[in-house]
């Protein structure tokens, strides 16, 4: 049985990825600070949950050996949470990265998969953002993602297969819910407040359904190393404008929803191409933004999400403010 270590595997994407890998008969270890609790992960005979900090090199030295592949998701994972404490953000998102890569290499990890972000491109004049375009990250969160990519590529070797994914914004339901990403924000506001506030509107924001995001990681795990070694792939699906996403959410609701548009100075707009992963690895998305909205409505209707407008568990920045991590 292949053994996979998911660093940051108790987060929004990690919880759903863990479940998918368990269902495909992988042995999974999740190493995570469990900021959002470890109860969001299932109890399963093939799952080993380890609570710890990726900055703890000694602990990593003990945990990494014995795994075949590693998926690195751990992160202060959005701009506002990063900016709350930039030194903390850097220590987690960047300073810990080379040690993790070194330990993985030393312990003969066969595949190292890194969750970067499509935000590394910044704002592009090109209509279709492909992997070969230069990186012009606009925030520290994105800048350190780009710098980690470089570290990983510099360390790629014939015995150490590295793959970088640049995901679009993820949407949909997870047992560790995030309600601070665009589709989820709008669905929460519409369902629980009957009102959506849209800042700007015409900016294009690429999204990917969480089920497709986890399928993408699985796809990479299942590939022969020859296909994916040293490769970088965008992973997105629908490139809709913010206003179109808001209208889609509005039209999925039974009740009347008010839509307010406000000015914004955040005019980032980009159309991310996911043709490369389709052409080279045959990966195509199966789930739409609408599917994600419907899944979230179903979670709200069945009260799976407690106090969704205020609960810090669903908003990374609120959670980081409340735990005062050093
Ligand atoms: N969700 C998105 O829309 C999106 C888009 C592009 C890229 N990504 C990337 O995908 C990855 C997963 O994103 P997510 O949405 O699941 O984020 P998340 O915040 O839900 O999960 C991150 C996990 O990392 C853990 N973590 C944070 N600091 C840690 C530390 N010092 N030691 C150990 N664990 C620590 C947290 O406890 C959390 O469980 C991140 O790297 C993120 O940057 C996400």
The pLDDT confidence band at residue 43, using thresholds 50, 70 and 90, is very high
- pLDDT tens digits, residue range 162-176? 999 999 999 999 999
Q: Which domain holds residue 229?
A: 3-323
Nearest atom (ligand 1) to Cα of 176 = 20
Look at residue 267 and tell me whether its pLDDT is greater than 80.
Answer: no
Q: Is the CB of 56 under 6 A from ligand 1?
A: no
10 lines ligand 1 (CB under 6 A): yes
pLDDT digits (tens, 9 = 90+) for 107-140: 999 999 999 999 999 988 888 999 999 999 999 9
Nearest CA to ligand 1 atom 31: 53
The neighbour count for residue 255, using CB atoms within 10 Å, is 7
Give the confidence band of 270 by pLDDT, cuts at 50, 70, 90.
confident
Indicate whether 234 pLDDT > 90. yes
Pocket test for ligand 1, best of 9, 13, 171 (most atoms within 8 A of CB): 13
Domain count, the chain: 1
pLDDT at 191: 98
Q: What is the pLDDT of residue 256?
A: 94
User: Which range among 45-54, 73-82, 207-216 shows the weakest confidence by mean pLDDT?
Assistant: 73-82
| Section 91-102 average pLDDT | 98
The pLDDT of 280-286, averaged and rounded, is: 97
User: What's the CATH code of the domain at 187?
Assistant: 3.40.50.720
Label residue 8 left, alpha or beta by phi (over 0 means left) and psi (-120 to 50 means alpha). left
The predicted structure's pLDDT at residue 290: 98
Looking at residue 68, what is its pLDDT? 98
- pLDDT given for residue 266 in this prediction: 74
Q: Can you say how many angstroms the Cα of residue 123 is from the centroid of all Cα atoms in its chain? A: 20
How many Å lie between the centroid of ligand 1 and the Cα of residue 14? 8
């Amino acid at each position: 049985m292949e053994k996979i270590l998911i660093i940051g595997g108790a987060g929004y994407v990690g919880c759903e990825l863990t479940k998918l890998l368990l269902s495909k008969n992988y042995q999974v270890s999740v190493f995570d600070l469990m900021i959002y609790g470890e109860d969001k992960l299932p109890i399963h005979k093939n799952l080993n949950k380890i609570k710890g900090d990726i900055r703890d090199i000694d602990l990593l030295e003990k945990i990494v050996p014995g795994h075949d592949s590693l998926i690195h998701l751990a992160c202060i994972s959005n701009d506002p949470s990063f900016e709350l404490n930039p030194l903390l953000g850097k220590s987690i998102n960047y300073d810990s990265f080379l040690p993790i890569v070194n330990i993985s290499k030393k312990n003969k990890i066969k595949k190292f998969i890194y969750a970067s972000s499509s935000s590394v491109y910044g704002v592009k004049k090109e209509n279709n953002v492909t992997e070969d375009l230069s990186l012009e990250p606009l925030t520290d969160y994105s800048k350190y993602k780009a710098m980690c990519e470089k570290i990983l590529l510099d360390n790629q070797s014939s015995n150490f297969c590295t793959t970088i994914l640049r995901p679009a914004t993820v949407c949909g339901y997870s047992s560790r819910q995030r309600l601070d990403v665009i589709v989820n924000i709008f669905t929460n506001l519409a369902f629980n407040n009957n009102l959506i506030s849209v800042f700007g509107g015409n900016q294009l924001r690429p999204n990917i359904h969480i089920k497709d995001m986890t399928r993408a990681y699985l796809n990479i795990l299942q590939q022969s190393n020859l296909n994916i070694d040293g490769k970088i792939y965008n992973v997105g699906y629908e490139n809709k404008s913010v206003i179109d996403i808001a209208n889609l959410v509005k039209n999925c609701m039974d009740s009347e929803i008010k839509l307010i548009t406000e000015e914004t100075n955040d005019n980032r707009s980009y159309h991310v191409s996911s043709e490369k992963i389709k052409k080279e690895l045959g990966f195509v998305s199966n789930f739409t933004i609408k599917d994600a909205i419907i899944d979230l409505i179903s979670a709200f209707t069945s009260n799976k999400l407690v106090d969704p407008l205020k609960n810090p568990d669903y908003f990374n920045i609120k959670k980081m403010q409340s735990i005062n991590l050093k």
